[in-house]
């Protein structure tokens, strides 16, 4: 019985509870009003983003392309790439964007594709990091290059590995245009 007696006594403080509840409801109401003014009308049309953004992105010039676009002009390298262990890797992961090399809209050659010939490029994927899956080919650079002369040179990986098909002895030596 004492419990109920204490509960009724505390009812005289209910005005504080009502104030807190009204403040929370008012804050939520204000939040949704402000949100309605700040969010664009197309938000949520196709998911949790602005629907108008699809048209904006489509209006931008093409920078990247599917790797099949490279096969049109570079068929020999494409065949080597497709037969090697790097087949699932997009060309533009190692090379620059297509827009640097070719203007898709005009169908014109712009310039030679920049090729990064450093071990840093290879180590982006093959560095021995704990986050890499167990079956993924990873290397400890010091251990991997301990018997290699000129191991300090940036292009050391390409002395033995052909980047489009990196298994040693797979596709012959690397040429300057690969």
pLDDT in tens, 27-73: 999 999 999 899 888 888 888 888 888 888 888 887 888 878 888 88
For residues 38, 41, 43 and 45, what is the CA-based torsion angle, rounded to 10 degrees? Answer: 170
Distance separating alpha carbons of residues 129 and 123, to the nearest angstrom = 10
User: With b meaning 16 or more CB within 10 Å and e meaning fewer, what string describes 93-123?
Assistant: ebbeebbebbeeeeeeeeeebeeebebebbe
Q: What is the pLDDT of residue 13?
A: 72
- Residue 4, pLDDT score: 55
Q: Indicate the domain borders of the chain.
A: 2-59, 68-159
- The answer on pLDDT for 136 being more than 50 is yes
The tokens for 13 are 């403080």
Chain CA centroid to CA 39, Å: 27
Report the DSSP beta bridge partners of residue 115. 95
Q: Tell me the pLDDT band of 3, cut-offs 50, 70 and 90.
A: low
pLDDT digits (tens, 9 = 90+) for 86-113: 888 888 888 888 888 888 888 888 888 8
Distance between CA 126 and CA 143 in Å, rounded?
Answer: 13
| Residues facing residue 139 across a β-bridge | 127
Nearest to 159 by CA among 124, 119, 132, 130: 119
Contact, 64 vs 95, CB < 8 A?
Answer: no
Report whether 81 contacts 165 (CB < 8 A): yes
């Amino acid at each position: 019985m004492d419990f109920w007696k204490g509960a009724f006594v505390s009812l005289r403080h209910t005005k504080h509870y009502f104030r807190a509840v009204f403040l929370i409801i008012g804050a939520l109401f204000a939040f949704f009003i402000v949100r309605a003014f700040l969010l664009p009308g197309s938000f949520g049309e196709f998911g949790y983003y602005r629907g108008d953004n699809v048209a904006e992105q489509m209006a931008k010039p093409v920078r990247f392309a599917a790797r099949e676009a490279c096969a049109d002009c570079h068929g020999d390298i494409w065949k080597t790439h497709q037969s090697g262990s790097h087949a699932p890797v997009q060309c533009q992961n190692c090379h620059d964007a297509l827009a640097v090399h070719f203007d898709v809209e005009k169908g014109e050659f712009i310039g030679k594709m920049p090729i990064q010939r450093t071990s840093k490029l290879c180590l982006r994927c093959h560095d021995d990091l704990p986050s890499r899956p167990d079956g993924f080919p990873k290397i400890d650079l010091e251990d991997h290059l301990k018997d290699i002369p000129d191991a300090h040179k940036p292009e050391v990986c390409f002395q033995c590995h052909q980047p489009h098909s990196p298994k040693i002895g797979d596709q012959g030596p690397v040429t300057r245009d690969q």
